[in-house]
């Protein structure tokens, strides 16, 4: 899969294709991706300066956990709000209170968009766009939600414009406005592209990380003995008096291995995103003509019996040496591989490590009395656990 096969992205008609990052190709994609990566790095992507933003968000999320008072509680909204807020901080320059009506509406609209993306109606819309545009059905709600998200982002851009200062860039939108203002030759930056880029970061950056965290807490409730080992390691290395930091990862091999195993078993993007060949290629003895859709099968790698000792059993040992040191595995590719590799990998890894470690430091997750954890999944934009309730008990009391 990491062979040198030249691929672009298949563009779905239901999306604003040939804009932004995810559904774009060629020069436009390269320029938008490079810009997004360098700008997000400037604001701390994968760096120490972003740690306080993530940890601060955890404290808000922890309040929600605490307010459940150990009673059965669905953590989905709290986790979603926290993960979305990290993107909000980078893109809009501020976070929202979880109770903020506007924020709740935004999350609701994204949910509608996600739901639509995964439904049969999107398939029908993609096949018969002209007809479906005029027919009633759930796809119309999805289309409306998509337009409302665009309006929300447009509103944020207009607010930014009113206080915009060329000499001081506060966030992703400010930097993008600067790029439009500079009007360099061959430049693909305009407001429509800005809106789609922002939506791409939300689409790709919220559901993925929050789904992984929801798997994480479910696995911990299912395997209390693994949870206890993680907590014991955190207690030994970090204790209770300070917050975790990325520097702790090297000293927390068991915790790190558990996070990797959650991602492997969670397999949240089983078929990655569709690609298409942009020239004739030879791969593994096969000739693939230009313009063919390629669907990378990440599942086949994450569950390959030649690569993993117990492919279908949760086993942190997959990432540990005999001496208990963390070991990387080439077959661990939940973020895909190659030039279109996940742009948010560094951010996602930071979020997962800091959120998971902080959660284990402060809370214990268990199933409500008499309830068995269900590892069944709901196939949508991501492969997510079905909605579940969990008891979150504070460890300090
Ligand atoms: C656990 C979390 C995540 C997982 C498992 C994940 C996984 C993936 C996968 C499998 C792809 C498709 C790569 C391909 O086409 O071959 C992708 C693309 C992408 N991801 Fe992620 N992702 C995660 C988090 C994030 C975050 C936090 C962000 C952003 C803030 C993000 C932004 C993107 C973008 C923009 C693309 C499109 C890249 C392109 O087409 O050039 N992802 N991700």
Q: Tens digits of per-residue pLDDT, 106-146? A: 888 877 777 666 666 666 666 667 776 777 777 667 778 78
120-127 and 138-162 helices cross at what angle (nearest 10)?
90
3-state secondary structure 320-378: ECCCCCECCCCCCCCCCCCCCCCCCHHHHHHHHHHHHHHHHHHEEEECCCCCCCCCCEE
Alpha-carbon distance 316 to 225, whole Å?
12
Per-residue pLDDT, 390: 98
* CB of residue 124 inside a 6 A radius of ligand 1: no
131 CA to centre of ligand 1 in angstroms: 32
The band of 253, judged by pLDDT with boundaries at 50, 70 and 90, is very high
Closest C-alpha to ligand 1, atom 20: 342
* CB of residue 90 inside a 6 A radius of ligand 1: no
CB 135 within 8 A of CB 125: no
* CB of residue 5 inside a 6 A radius of ligand 1: no
CB 359 within 8 A of CB 83: no
Alpha-carbon distance 359 to 371, whole Å?
22
* CB of residue 209 inside a 6 A radius of ligand 1: yes
* CB of residue 267 inside a 6 A radius of ligand 1: no
Using alpha carbons, select from 353, 367, 335 the residue that is nearest to residue 75.
Answer: 367
Alpha-carbon distance 99 to 104, whole Å?
7
* CB of residue 243 inside a 6 A radius of ligand 1: no
3-state secondary structure 224-256: HHHHHHHHHHHHHHCCCCCCCCHHHHHHCHHHH
The band of 299, judged by pLDDT with boundaries at 50, 70 and 90, is very high
Mutate to test the pocket of ligand 1, among 5, 201, 204 (most ligand atoms within 8 A of CB): 204
* CB of residue 33 inside a 6 A radius of ligand 1: yes
Distances in whole angstroms, Cα of residue 139 to Cα of each of 103, 109, 133, 274, 383: 23, 13, 9, 21, 21
Q: Of all atoms in ligand 1, which is nearest to the CA of residue 348?
A: 27
Could you read off the pLDDT of 265-289 as tens digits, one per residue? Answer: 999 999 999 898 989 999 889 999 9
Architecture of domain 9-394: Orthogonal Bundle (1.10)
306 CA to centre of ligand 1 in angstroms: 26
């Amino acid at each position: 899969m990491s062979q040198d096969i030249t691929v672009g992205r298949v563009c779905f008609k239901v999306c604003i294709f040939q804009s932004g990052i995810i559904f774009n190709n060629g020069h436009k994609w390269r320029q938008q991706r490079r810009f997004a990566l360098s700008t997000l790095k400037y604001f701390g992507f994968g760096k120490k300066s972003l740690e306080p933003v993530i940890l601060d968000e955890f404290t808000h999320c922890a309040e929600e956990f605490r307010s459940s008072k150990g009673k059965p509680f669905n953590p989905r909204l709290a986790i979603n709000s926290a993960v979305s807020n990290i993107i909000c901080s980078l893109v809009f320059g501020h976070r929202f209170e979880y109770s903020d009506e506007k924020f709740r509406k935004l999350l609701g609209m994204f949910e509608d968009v996600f739901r639509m993306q995964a439904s049969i109606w999107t398939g029908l819309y993609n096949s018969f766009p002209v007809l479906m545009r005029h027919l009633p059905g759930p796809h119309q709600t999805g289309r409306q939600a998509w337009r409302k998200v665009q309006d929300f982002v447009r509103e944020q851009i207009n607010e930014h414009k009113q206080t915009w200062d060329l000499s001081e860039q506060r966030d992703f939108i400010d930097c993008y406005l600067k790029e439009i203002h500079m009007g360099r030759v061959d430049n693909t930056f305009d407001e429509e592209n800005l809106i789609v880029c922002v939506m791409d970061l939300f689409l790709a950056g919220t559901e993925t990380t929050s789904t992984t965290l929801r798997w994480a807490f479910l696995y911990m409730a299912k395997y209390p003995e693994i949870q206890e080992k993680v907590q014991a390691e955190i207690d030994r290395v970090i204790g209770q008096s300070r917050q975790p930091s990325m520097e702790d990862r090297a000293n927390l091999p068991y915790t790190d291995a558990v996070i990797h195993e959650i991602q492997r078993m969670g397999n949240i993007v089983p078929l990655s995103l569709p690609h298409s060949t942009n020239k004739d290629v030879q791969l593994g003895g096969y000739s693939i003509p230009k313009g063919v859709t390629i669907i990378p099968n990440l599942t086949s790698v994450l569950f390959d019996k030649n690569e993993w000792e117990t492919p279908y059993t949760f086993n942190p040992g997959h990432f540990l040496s005999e001496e208990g040191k963390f070991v990387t595995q080439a077959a661990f590719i939940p973020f895909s591989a190659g030039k279109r590799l996940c742009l948010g990998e560094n951010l996602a890894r930071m979020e997962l490590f800091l959120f998971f470690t902080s959660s284990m430091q402060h809370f214990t997750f268990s199933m409500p009395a008499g309830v068995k954890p269900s590892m069944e999944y709901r196939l949508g934009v991501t492969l997510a656990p079905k909605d579940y309730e969990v008891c979150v008990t504070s460890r300090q009391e």
